[in-house]
Amino acid sequence: MTTATANAIVSRHQSAPLSTTFAETFEIRPLDAPLGAEVIGLDLSQSLSNADFARIHRAHLDYHVVVFRDQQITPAQQIAFSRRFGPLQIHVLHQFQLPGHPEVLVVSNVVENGKPIGLGDAGHFWHSDLSYKEKPSLGSLLHARELPAKGGDTLFANMHLAWDTLPPALQNAVDGLRAEHTYLARYAELQQRSPWRPNLTPEQIAQVKPVLQPVVRTHPETGRKAIFVSEHFTTRIVGLPEDESRDLLDQLFAHSTRPAHIYRHQWQAHDLVFWDNRSLLHLAAGCPPGLRRVMYRTTIEGDVPR
For each of the domains in the chain, give its residue range(s) and CATH number, in order of start.
24-301 (3.60.130.10)
Verify whether residue 297 is a known catalytic residue. yes
Q: Which of 129, 181, 197, 217 is the catalytic position? A: 129
Q: Report pLDDT for 13.
A: 31
pLDDT at 201: 96
Helix (H, G, I), strand (E, B) or coil at 62: helix
- pLDDT at position 7 is 38
| pLDDT at residue number 193 | 83
Q: What does the alpha-carbon distance between residue 48 and residue 279 come to, in Å, rounded to a whole number? A: 25
pTM of the model: 0.90
Contact status, residue 156 vs residue 64, Cβ threshold 8 Å: yes
Q: Each residue of 180-198: pLDDT tens digit? A: 999 999 999 999 987 789 9
Residue ranges of the chain with per-residue pLDDT less than 50? 1-23
88 near 301, Cβ under 8 Å? yes
**Which residue from 293, 286, 281, 303 is spatially nearest to 65, judged by alpha carbons?**
281
Based on the residue annotation, tell me whether 127 is a catalytic residue of this protein: yes
Q: What is the pLDDT of residue 289?
A: 86
> Active-site residue among 55, 60, 127, 197?
127
Q: What is the pLDDT of residue 22?
A: 38
If residue 211 lies in a helix (H) or strand (E), which one and from where to where?
Answer: strand 211-214
pLDDT for 25: 85
Enclosing H/E stretch for 256: helix 242-256
- Residues 6-35: tens digit of each pLDDT: 333 333 233 333 323 334 589 999 999 999
pLDDT at 196: 84
User: Of residues 232, 261, 282, 293, which has the active-site annotation?
Assistant: 282
Question: How far apart (Å, rounded) are the C-alpha atoms in residues 275 and 60?
Answer: 7
Return the number of other C-beta atoms located less than 10 Å from residue 267's C-beta.
19
Strands 37-40 and 27-30: antiparallel
Out of 55, 160, 265, 297, the active site residue is 297
